[in-house]
Amino acid sequence: MRLPPATLEAAARVLRANDRGGWTVPARDLYPFQWNWDSALVALGWRRLDEARALRELASLLAAQWPCGMVPQIVFHRPDPRYFPGPEVWRTDRTPPTSGITQPPVLASCLARLVARARDRALVEAGARQLLPAIERWHRWFHEVRIDPATGLVVTVHPWETGMDDSPLWDEPLARVPTPQGLRLERRDLVAVPADQRPKMAHYRRFLALVLRFRTWRWDQRRMAAQSPFRVADPTTHLLLLAAERDLEALARRLGVLDPEAIAARTARLEGAIRRHLQDPESGFIHAFDLVAGRRLAARAACAFLAFRAGLATPGLTRALMAWLAAVPFPLPTVHPTDPAFERRRYWRGPVWPVLDRLVAWGLEGEPAARLAAVVAELIRRFGFREYHDPLDGRGLGGRDFSWTAALALDWLADG
Ligand code: GLC
């Protein structure tokens, strides 16, 4: 699928306009800092324009790594009043300030793609050698600090860590998070985007309540993993971590660094835990797991299809993918339209997200991969580089001039 040169030039202009010098904001009005998985994916766009700049994007994110190994969800490089909750709410005591939670680990996979597609091989391989130890420490943190000993699953303590904030997957486990009286909530996101396209207030109150609770625990990551009132195993985190571990192991072997055997051993353990606890034995579908209640959740979301990239495909899952592709004019809907939770315009509760289509297509071949590329190319041609779209009529929703949407045009839709 090829986008016309003018569209690719427009994509490059979006990245340049969102460049803050070594790091890229996801969207100028809505997200004026550096976000973890946005940056990793945006580096893939930079790779087409300037490989050294792509490496700098990853390095600037890793420079904010915590001593425990966590790579944070947000790096607040400089103050900006347009976002809430800012560093004065998180108070994680880091320089530069960061949030105190993480996001889905796609960094290793993006770096592997930079290396595989490198034009200046010496430059990119040297950059990769420098970055790999920090990425390995981050992965190890998932296995050692954010692990549920009973199941071997990775513990996610906040819906923001899943990158799919208000997904119906989190409705049930989030409902038991208490919201304190007198919670001061500012919705600065509603200045840029209509309220019916953003998470509901009830969700936001619980998002903030969790932040305030962890703050009283001084961001003790082990305590958060053991005691957070919201503790889930998230399909996106697990499936992308599994793929990232495989990519890390391959990079380690190729470049002769790290300990590939150790990475392979923990990857096998992670895969076993996913197969045992997240994958439905009959349907093959990947579900979230509620670690507080100790059971798999029934809710379904499109992130399950990241299983193709993680090597966990089954015939049942392939049938489900075909059904979701056929369910709306512009797939993938993040929630199936027959699901009572489906809302066509609201954030992670129905809209099609180009970035998710791109990540799912990364694990597919043939017709389904071509279909997703064609859908996203059409959405971009008609509506520009938006954050997400109505899956029924394609209309652009959420943020505009969105960095990861521009980046995937350059990385994925430029050359077949
Ligand atoms: C929202 C999305 C998250 C993304 C961030 C910045 O919070 O849910 O996935 O990383 O915006 O684009």
Note the Cα 369 to chain centre separation in Å.
Answer: 19
Provide the 10 A C-beta neighbour count for residue 42: 34
Instruction: Please work out whether the CB of residue 347 comes within 6 Å of at least one atom of ligand 1.
Output: no
How many angstroms is it from 334 CA to the middle of ligand 1? 14
Taking CA atoms, 350 is separated from 51, 240, 338, in Å, by: 35, 21, 10
Q: Can you tell me which atom of ligand 1 is nearest the CA of 355?
A: 9
pLDDT at 416: 47
Q: List, in sequence order, the alpha helices (H) in 259-363.
A: 260-277, 315-326, 354-361
Query: Is the CB–ligand 1 distance for residue 402 below 6 Å?
Result: no
Residues 6+ apart with CB under 8 A from 366: none
- Alpha carbon of 225 to those of 141, 144, 145, 148: distances in Å? 11, 11, 7, 8
Residue nearest (by alpha carbon) to ligand 1 atom 12: 26
Question: Can you tell me the distance from the alpha carbon of 139 to that of 248, in angstroms, rounded to the nearest whole number?
Answer: 9
Give Cα separations from 51 to 39, 43, 289, 359 (angstroms).
14, 9, 39, 21
* Secondary structure letter of residue 368 according to DSSP: H
Q: Which of 71, 83, 99, 165 to mutate to test the pocket of ligand 1 (most atoms within 8 A of CB)?
A: 165
Q: Is the CB of residue 165 below 6 angstroms from any atom belonging to ligand 1?
A: yes
Please provide the DSSP assignment of 283-347 as one string: T--B--EETTTTEE-----GGGGGGGTTT---HHHHHHHHHHHHSSSSPPPSS-TTSTT--SSST
- 385, 399 contact by CB (below 8 A): no
Task: Kindly give the confidence (pLDDT) of every residue in the chain, 416 residues in length, as a single tens digit, with 9 standing for 90 and above.
Answer: 589 999 999 999 999 999 999 999 999 989 999 999 999 999 999 999 999 999 999 999 999 999 999 999 999 999 999 999 999 999 999 999 999 999 999 999 999 999 999 999 999 999 999 999 999 999 999 999 999 999 999 999 999 999 999 999 999 999 999 998 888 889 999 999 999 999 999 999 999 999 999 999 999 999 999 999 999 999 999 999 999 999 999 999 999 999 999 999 999 999 999 999 999 999 999 999 999 999 999 999 999 999 999 999 999 999 999 999 999 999 999 999 999 999 999 999 999 999 999 999 999 999 999 999 999 999 999 999 999 999 999 999 999 999 999 999 999 999 74
Phi-psi region of 6 (alpha: psi -120 to 50; beta: other; left: phi over 0): alpha
SS3 207: helix
Interstrand relation of 74-75 and 388-389 (parallel, antiparallel or unpaired):
unpaired
Please give the C-alpha separations between residue 182 and each of 88, 185, 209, 258, in angstroms, as whole numbers: 18, 9, 11, 49
Any atom of ligand 1 within 6 Å of the Cβ of 234: no
For residue 245, the surrounding DSSP H or E stretch is helix 235-255
Give residue 415's pLDDT: 74
Kindly state if the Cβ of 38 falls inside 6 Å of ligand 1.
yes
Bridge-based pairing of strands 74-75 and 34-35 is antiparallel
**Token couple for 365:** 């071949």
pLDDT of residue 388: 98
* pLDDT reported for residue 1: 58
pLDDT of amino acid 154 = 99
Question: Which of the residues are catalytic?
Answer: 165, 387
- Looking up tokens 């996101």 gives 189
Query: 49 and 9 in contact (C-beta within 8 Å)?
Result: no
Answer yes or no: is the C-beta of 31 below 6 A from any ligand 1 atom. Answer: yes
Measure 256 CA to ligand 1 centroid, in angstroms: 34
Rg (CA), the chain: 20
φ and ψ of 321, to 5 deg:
-60, -45
33 lines ligand 1 (CB under 6 A): no
Tokens of 93: 């005591």
Which atom of ligand 1 lies closest to the CA of 73?
10
Q: Is 29 exposed, middle or buried (0-12, 13-18, 19+ CB in 10 A)?
A: middle
Beta strands in 269-381 (DSSP E): 289-290, 295-296
Instruction: Please count the residues of the chain.
Output: 416
Spatial distance between the Cα atoms of 151 and 276, rounded to a whole number of angstroms: 9
Q: So what's the pLDDT on residue 44?
A: 98
Task: Report CA dihedral (144, 234, 236, 52) to the nearest 10 degrees.
Answer: -40
CB 142 within 8 A of CB 135: no
287/181 Cα distance (integer angstroms): 33
Distance 150 CA to ligand 1 centre (A): 30
As a whole number of angstroms, the distance between CA 40 and CA 61 comes to 8
Q: Kindly give the distance from the C-alpha atom of residue 134 to the centroid of ligand 1, in angstroms, as a whole number.
A: 23
Question: Of all atoms in ligand 1, which is nearest to the CA of residue 347?
Answer: 8
Q: Is 35 in the pocket of ligand 1 (CB under 6 A)?
A: yes
Q: Identify the three-state secondary structure at position 27.
A: strand
User: Angle between the 5-18 and 403-412 helix axes, to the nearest 10 degrees?
Assistant: 140
